[in-house]
Chains A and B, each alone.
Chain A
Amino acid sequence: MKIVVLVKEVPDTYGERRLNLETGLADRDANDRVLDEIGERATEVAVSYAESHPDTEVTVLTVGPETVPTTLRKALAMGATNGFHVLDDALRGADLTLTAEALAQAIERIGFDLIIAGDISTDGTAGVIPAMLAERLGIAHATSLNSLEISDTEIAGERETSGGTITLSASLPAVVSITERLPDPRFPGFKGIIAAKKKSIDTVDLADLGIDADADVPRSIMIAVSEKPARSAGTKIVDEGTAGQQLADYLVQNRLV
């Protein structure tokens, strides 16, 4: 089985993330760049399947800047077979349409039976790429799965929906996305880290994939960006026996109850 895992380098959410107010793009120097945790979880799903199915090849795929190979190594150290990196200046600030096009072309190039992604990234928070890929590739999607079973011919899993839970199944090839209900990603061991150094990462640009970023298709563009003023601390009291009462007074005075 050939599994492609979508991963993404994102600003670490353990720090205050910043946008450049002139370009509207992420300020890459403001935070450490890390592999998005949900992508690590997707990698875990693929790698643990590969452990019990030795004829499995796991390719971790990403679109991103020059720093990507460093973060991609982590997924390789977890046990992915190889990496695929779409690198092109024209992808800076790319909208969802262009990103999906680049990913779909890359996936066609890699070859696939199953594509596994995280349900939603911590930076873009769009959560639409899996469905866009499914449409482009002409295959089924099953997104935001809280559980996932993979067989040779199909996948099945559960997802939350309004008012309950649905169980889904789809024949392969298919695109799935998983939630953080799936098991925690492993920490790469020393052996994995050493092995990852020898694994290959293919790097391609848009021209290699036959994509024209300036094609005459509708694009979504950012037209304004502003920073919200930071919240400041208000009243802070130490409970000396009446704090509950004082808080009730505060809520009433401010018409919050």
Chain B
Amino acid sequence: MTELAVVPVLVLLGISPTGELATSAAELLGAAARIGTPVAVIIAGPGHGQDAATAAGAAGAQRVLFAETPDVNSVLTAQLVDGLVTAYGRVKPSAVLISNTIEGRDVAGRFAVRTQNALAVDAVGIDRDDGGIIVHHSVYGGGYEVDSAVTFGTPVVTIREGGVEDRAAAANPTIESFECVGTGLTAAKIVSFTPEQAKSSRPGLRGATRVVSGGRGVGSANDFALVEQLADVLGAAVGASRVAVDSGYVPHSYQVGQTGVCVSPQLYIALGISGAIQHRAGMQTAGTIVAINKDPEALIFEIADFGVVGDLFTVVPQLISALAAKKG
């Protein structure tokens, strides 16, 4: 029988156009280490593979296969799938893990079809028992926990960003380069890339340990500054309800809920958010929920561990100065 620890688990690590490993690398390798030996695949632009491979080792990869191709920045998805298929053939892994991002989902969908394997998506955990690999999911906005498994073959699993807390110990990996042989299948072209203008120093919403969100009660884009101010005091990410986004207070990328980002932070503070069920579906698995709302009947209070009925424009400034005083 094969020792559990040596069963390879293939992990596709995302690379930015400038060559940095995606932040999801740590959780993907952590999830892989839980069920076997993490083997990373990296498809990078020219000159970025070796550094990314070394970084993957620091994040827990025991073995890294990397390929470099300029096409990765001009063709959508194709090189990632082709490279992953090549690595899959070499490594013969017991599972393939991919981040559940837009790019990751595209790769996973194509890879599963091409290799004729079953696909399990948006996992929040993964385990192995005598019967094989078990994938944990959180569905209907965290209302249910579902376990899935594949009948046979190699499970292809996408892992929710910020969904897995496991981390692998840093490793000194064996690093191999390989040639990414393209299948030349038809694919969309990446015509241009426009970097975000101001790179915020605030943590991103996905995977954040603290989130402060604002809703209708914030009232305007200008007044949203108060939400951001509290977030910065707490080192928290900033979120918003759909109403706040639709009213133009903040960009869509801030939206927490059914059709936005699902978060599961240790602390979630809802400011002026009524708590419509679609919003709750994106945050109700938070460790502690705090709500401030003028309306004592607001639905959000039904799930809040600490609720304040009051005007957020008097309560929040007081909270900020009280927290500042405690920090000294």
Contact = CB atoms under 8 A, between A and B. Distances in A.
Contacts of A249: 322
Contacts of B32: none
A222 B147 contact: yes
Interface in B21-58: 22
A200 interface: no
The dominant DSSP class at the A interface is mixed
Contacts of A227: 143-145
Given A19-B140, A231-B303, A164 B195 contact: yes
B153 interface: yes
B223 interface: no
Given A97-B118, A223-B134, A169 B252 contact: no
Contacts of B141: 17
B309 A136 contact: no
Nearest to B138: A228
B153 to A, nearest CB: 3
Nearest to B134: A223
* From B152, B314, B322, residue with most partner A Cβ within 10 Å: B322
Interface string B232-276: 001000000000000000001100001100000011000000000
Given A131-B109, A223-B134, A218 B188 contact: no
Interface stretch (A44-52, A80-88, A186-194, A240-248): A240-248
B284 interface: yes
A13 B284 contact: no
A219 interface: yes
A234 B306 contact: yes
Interface string A220-257: 11111111100111111111001111111111101011
A236 B301 contact: yes
Given A96-B119, A223-B134, A132 B103 contact: no
Given A128-B119, A162-B14, A257 B318 contact: no
Given A128-B108, A144-B102, A220-B120, A244 B145 contact: no
Interface residues on B, range: 35 or more
A237 B308 contact: yes
A167 interface: yes
B210 to A, nearest CB: 8
Interface string A126-150: 1111111011101111111000000
Interface string B305-320: 1111111001111111
Mostly, the B contact residues are: mixed
A122 interface: yes
Given A131-B106, A245-B318, A256-B267, A168 B119 contact: no
B296 A238 contact: yes
A233 B302 contact: yes
B315 A225 contact: no
Given A38-B259, A218-B117, A162 B22 contact: yes
Contact of A165 (B16, B119, B185, B193): B193
A166 interface: yes
A176 to B, nearest CB: 9
A257 B323 contact: yes
24 contacts: A13-B277, A95-B119, A96-B119, A97-B113, A97-B119, A126-B121, A131-B106, A136-B113, A141-B76, A156-B191, A161-B103, A162-B16, A164-B194, A167-B194, A168-B190, A218-B151, A225-B144, A237-B306, A237-B309, A242-B318, A244-B315, A244-B316, A247-B308, A252-B326
Sorted from nearest, which 4 A-B pairs have the closest CB atoms?
Answer: A244-B318, A239-B310, A131-B109, A218-B153
Given A97-B118, A220-B119, A236-B304, 5 more contacts: A13-B281, A18-B140, A127-B121, A222-B148, A257-B323
Interface of A: 13-19, 24, 37-38, 95-97, 100, 119-120, 122-123, 125-132, 134-136, 138-144, 156, 159-171, 174, 179-181, 217-228, 231-239, 242-252, 254, 256-257
